[in-house]
Structure 1
Amino acid sequence: MPLQTLSTLTCNDITGLILAGGRSSRMGGQDKGLIQLHGLPQAQWLAQQLRLQTAGVLISANRHINIYQRFGFPVIQDDDDSFAGPLAGILAALRHCPTSLLLVTPCDTPAVHPELALLLLRRLQQDERPLAYIQTISTTGESRDHPGFALIHRDLSGQLEAYLASGQRRVLQWFREQKASVCVVPDHISFHNLNTPEAVSAYQSVAGSR
């Protein structure tokens, strides 16, 4: 990959991806991307935000395809119906990505960080790496990896395909194998997952009281 070209890329060279293709086991099987948040299905709400900082948005989904298609964004399905995890959704999206870079975000967060694309792009360019992901630092100094938020060059699709073909599925392990850059940022609500009914209810109660 000609990494020297990374320096010329901008947010117009980034396509956003909302990952909504899982089984949602911690939500009792309820499709997380379709849970109402701010008056819209969660995936639609997030996609509308993500398009403000990218050239376009894709949605990764493996259920309720007809509903997701109504949101007005292309819907990408995994290559098979095995629900092989987020990397399978990322691989399918990389194959359909019309731009050089793919910005990955999960569907179960309450918002997209307003500078997510720019933060990751700067980190990727500074380190001259084809992959960067978020790590947050809390006010107490505790760090936490968030591999669900990542910027990936589409040229890595071959490496990802080989990794999945070997039977591996761990996102962070593959990132580390690619020597991914780590973008360290202060903790923010946009990186908090609402992946249980209790978490969704708690967030909605707080948001509704504002």
Structure 2
Amino acid sequence: MTASPISAIILAGGAGQRMGGQDKGLVKFHDRPLVAHVLARIQPQVDEILISANRNLEDYRALGYGVVKDAFDGFEGPLAGVLAGLNSVRHDWVLTVPCDTPQLPADLVQRLVAPLLAGQAEIAIASAGGRTHPVIMMCARHLKDDLNQYLAEGGRAVHAWQSRHMTATIEFADAAAFVNLNQPEDLSNPEG
């Protein structure tokens, strides 16, 4: 863990359309729910974890972490889950990750928080293999008011909200660490 306490929000509130409408975080991968793999990857790196979910809340609570629900009705996208988490976390620096990336790197938090602690950025975004992963980010908790305004104005695109702030893109060598499992066939071929 870093010297500054870090909160994490696991985003599990999507509709799971590409997964046939299933709640992706609870879909089994190697005999455990996808979200359990993500928890195992980030738990050693952070001081607090919240799960942002919009259904099956008791199943998520059974994992032993706090659960927050979007303030918006319907599935309004990942930023609604980010906002719900930012309104509930205890710490100033907040990691967000989707529930369907079971192979996240062990140094994710350390690398993403560095530019924030150095005052070089308010948001740090993971990138690997020539592709950015906007939902895998570290941000400052104080951005919650701006995010609330952005969503109230009808904004939904993660990258568009991020572009309103000083950002840093952090390149990771292992692109496989960021593969997300979106469809049933991805569960048997996690290398993407």
- State the TM-score, normalizing by the size of structure 2: 0.93
Q: Secondary structure of 1:111's partner? A: coil
Q: Secondary structure of 1:96's partner? A: coil
CA distance in 2 between counterparts of 1:11 and 1:85 reads 32
Which residue in 2 is equivalent to 1:183? 170
Report deviation, 1:128: 2.1
Distance 1:32 1:59, change over 3 A: same
CA distance in 1 between counterparts of 2:26 and 2:32 reads 8
- Of 152-161 and 42-51, more deviation after overlay is shown by 42-51
Residue 40 of structure 2, aligned match among 45, 48, 60: 48
Report deviation, 1:12: 4.6
CA contact (8 A) 1:111 1:190 kept: yes
Quick check: which has more Rg, 1 or 2?
Answer: 1
Instruction: Determine whether 1:109 maps to 2:96.
Output: no
CA distance in 2 between counterparts of 1:179 and 1:130 reads 5
Cα deviations by residue, 1:114-147 (Å, 9 ceiling, x for unpaired): 00000101133345221111121x3xxxx21110
CA distance in 1 between counterparts of 2:115 and 2:103 reads 21
Matches within 5 A, 1:96-135: 96-126=88-118, 128-135=120-127
Instruction: Determine whether 1:168 maps to 2:160.
Output: no
Q: CA RMSD in A?
A: 1.7
Instruction: Determine whether 1:144 maps to 2:131.
Output: yes
Report deviation, 1:188: 2.7
Which residue in 1 is equivalent to 2:51? 59
| Deviating 4+ runs (over 4 angstroms) | none
Which residue in 2 is equivalent to 1:5? none
Q: Secondary structure of 2:91's partner? A: coil
Structure 1 residues without counterparts, runs of 5 or longer: 1-8
Alignment identity in percent?
A: 37
- Of 188-197 and 18-27, more deviation after overlay is shown by 188-197
Cα deviations by residue, 1:135-180 (Å, 9 ceiling, x for unpaired): 21x3xxxx21110110011000011001001101000111111131
Q: Secondary structure of 1:195's partner? A: coil
Specify which structure has the higher proportion of helix. Answer: 1
Instruction: Determine whether 1:35 maps to 2:27.
Output: yes
Distance 1:59 1:15, change over 3 A: same
CA contact (8 A) 2:181 2:187 kept: yes
Matches within 5 A, 1:68-79: 68-79=60-71
Which residue in 2 is equivalent to 1:159? 146
